[in-house]
Every structure is written in structure tokens, then in C-alpha cells.
Amino acid sequence: MTLGSKLAWDDTVLPFQLDTSDVRGRVARLDGVLEGILSQHDYPEKVEALVAEMALLTALIGQTIKLRWKLQLQVQSDGPVRMIATDYYGPEKEGEPARIRAYASYDRDRLTDEAPIEQVGKGYFAIMLDQGMGMQPYKGITPLSGGSLKACAEAYFAQSEQLPTRFSLSFGKSREAGGAGHWRAGGVMIQVMPQASPHVSGEGGSGEGGLLLASDLVDGEEEENWNRVNFHLDTVEALELIGPSVSPTDLLVRLFHEEQPRVFDAQPVRFGCSCSEDKVRQSLSIYSAKDIEKMTTAEGTVTADCQFCGAHYVMDPASVGFDAEGPSEG
């Protein structure tokens, strides 16, 4: 693959459909997006791996949301990694890139030598969708289970959406000849096309704690199709997912040529944050002058830092809170 081809597919999500089996999916490649996210923080490598996995899941799931909608994925746990949060902002206009940001909160002293997922304890995995002004935000929650974040996402779709879904992910530090190591990630998401009435027994699922699994939602011809597509996906190799040696289109042909794959326009994604001084001022507008005084530094300013991108805001105390005089011109 040429350098131009590599750059063309980096930081994109390619939607596809398998016409023979009524399965849809997406192929994602993240490079600069991960660099943008992780370079804002000094995370230990185990935490970086969890953030990379969440960012990749967010890109794969978020591709379907409409213009200007916002998708959030969040993990809350009692483990060393207390929280992982990601945001996916749908494009402002057709043809524009979507934006992703992410951060993690963790106790460095509690991190262990075990695998990254072992740094996440008991808790929940949540997906939230904000469709804009006038619309009620949607939130779905599933317990942390299954031994990986992708298993939690699969359980969410089975439990909350009754959609058989599978993710095959690969991520890690890529080291090219003569260059420094940097994070790359790639993955495939497959999902049975939505049906009017999914096959659910009503007796609980076969997963941990009775959670539904994809296999609980299919039967008959649909089950045969789902199992066949999963058999093909089982043959994928980690380097094929991450790239850049194999393009997403070539990967789909290699995996699913018997299923009549059909691709749609790729969605570019970029690292991007929505923070601003105006939003900080808005969040502080509920506080009185006395409250603002308690937040004022020894230098006589009120400061705020964005947890996602590290932006640092410095404001005049008199210009924030519900007693604000307005932003200082100085």
C-alpha cells in the first residue's frame, strides 16, 4: 500500500452491508485521532490501552448518528481506573469530519501488573445519545462483564437494542522503521440488520448474570447467516485490522467475498474538543459571588482546566457567577 492510500484510510470509518446475510457493519482505522487523544495526558500504558479501546468502540458505534448529534460512552468502576469517558460529535455538515475526544480518571497507586481490563472493577458501561435541543437524551446501561470493554458493548446491544452485535478490535503501539512508536487502532463491527420482532425467549440470556448475548437473539436462517459471518470474521488477523498494509475495502473482500459486501461513503474522524471559555462561564453561572470567592486563586483569578484536551482557562472573578459584571476587557 502506498503512503497516499495509508493516509486516505487512517482516521476513517467505512460502513458496509453484507447483502447475502442481512448483516451490516463498519471498519474503523484510528491513527491521528488516538495520538490527539493520548498526547493530552501522561497516562500509564495500561490506561492508554483502555482509552484506545473505548475510542475505537466510540468511532464504530458513533458513525450512524446524525448531523450535530452527540454520542457518549462511559465506564464507571470501583477499580483503579474509576472512569473512562468518550464523546463522538456528529459532523456539523455533510462531508465534514466527526470529532472524538476521551479521557480517563484513575488511581495511579492502585494500578497493578495485571492486564488493562483488570484495572477496571465492578461497575457499569453506559451509552448516551443527545439528539439536540428539544429532544430527550437517551441513556442505556449494562453491567461491566465479559472480560473486555468490547464485550460490554456487545452486551449493551443485545440487552438494550436486541441487536446481535460483535466487535473485533486490535490496538497497540506501532513502531515503523526509523520512527518513534505511536498508537494505532483498527476494528470491525458487525450487526444483524434490525428486524420488526427479534427472537427473544423472555427467560433471560446465557451471558454472565443472565445478560443476553448475540446468540440468544437469532434462530433459523438468521442464526445460520450470523454464525457464517462470524466464522469469516474469526479469520481476521490483528495487523489486518490495524493496517495500514491492507485497506478496509480489501479486508472486506478478503473476509466476506461470499456475502456480497457493499460499501458506503467513509466517514472521516478527527480528534476535537468542544470546550470553550463561554461554556466554562456558563457552568459557573450558578454560583454566587461568595462561592466564586472561594474558587479564586492567590493570583486573584478563577481557573478551569478541560479534562479532555487540557485547555487552561483564566478568568476575572468579577466576570463569572450569577453576579457577574461581564468579561474583563483586560
Question: Are 246 and 184 members of one domain?
Answer: yes
Grid coordinates 476575572 are at which residue?
316
Residue 176 C-alpha from the chain's centroid: 26
Burial class (CB in 10 A: 0-12, 13-18, 19+), 66: exposed
Q: 199 falls in which pLDDT band (50, 70, 90)?
A: low
The domain boundary residue, chosen from 234, 256, 271: 271
Domain assignment present for residue 159? The answer is yes
> For residue range 91-101, what is the model confidence (pLDDT) as tens digits?
989 989 999 99
306-324 b/e (C-beta count within 10 Å ≥ 16 → b)? bbbbeeebebbbbbbbeeb
**Has residue 324 been placed in a domain?**
no
Indicate if 182 and 314 belong to the same structural domain: no
306: left (phi over 0), alpha (psi -120 to 50) or beta: beta
Q: What gap in Å lies between CA 76 and CA 143, rounded to an integer?
A: 10
One domain, residues 161 and 211: yes
Whether 146 maps to a domain, the answer reads yes
Does 267 share its domain with 289? Answer: no
H helix and E strand count, the chain: 9, 13
Are 184 and 242 in contact by the 8 Å Cβ rule? The answer is: yes
Decide: 13 and 167 in contact? Cβ < 8 Å: no
**Domain contains 297:** yes
Number of domains making up the chain: 2
Assign 123 a pLDDT band (cuts: 50, 70, 90): very high
pLDDT in tens, 36-50: 999 889 999 999 999
Q: Is position 328 within any domain?
A: no
Per-residue pLDDT of 297-306, as tens digits, reads 999 999 998 8
CA distance 156 to 158: 5
- Residues 183 and 260 reside in one and the same domain: yes
More confident: 195 or 266: 266
Closest CA to 17 of 223, 315, 264, 195: 264
**% of the chain residues with pLDDT over 90:** 69
Distance in angstroms (rounded) separating the CA atoms of residues 284 and 208: 43
pLDDT score, position 330: 42
Q: What is the pLDDT of residue 180?
A: 67
* 26 plus 59 within the same structural domain: yes
Give the whole-angstrom CA distance, residue 106 versus residue 102: 14
Residue 11's domain comprises: 3-271
Task: Establish if 261 belongs to a structural domain.
Answer: yes
Residues 42 and 132 in one domain: yes
Regarding whether 177 and 115 lie in a shared domain, the answer is yes
Contact by Cβ (8 Å): 45, 52: no
Asked if residue 176 and residue 102 are part of one domain, the reply reads: yes
Instruction: Please tell me whether residues 251 and 134 are part of one structural domain.
Output: yes
CATH number of the domain bearing residue 10 = 3.55.30.10
Residue 330 in any domain: the answer is no
Statement to judge: residues 57 and 93 lie in one domain: yes
Q: Which of 32, 40, 34 has its CA nearest to residue 8?
A: 32
pLDDT of 1 > 60? The answer is: no
Check whether 132 has a pLDDT greater than 90: no
Distance from the Cα of residue 227 to its chain's centroid: 26
Q: What is the 8-class DSSP label of residue 161? A: I
Q: Is residue 329 part of a domain?
A: no
pLDDT of residue 215: 77
Same domain, 225 and 92: yes
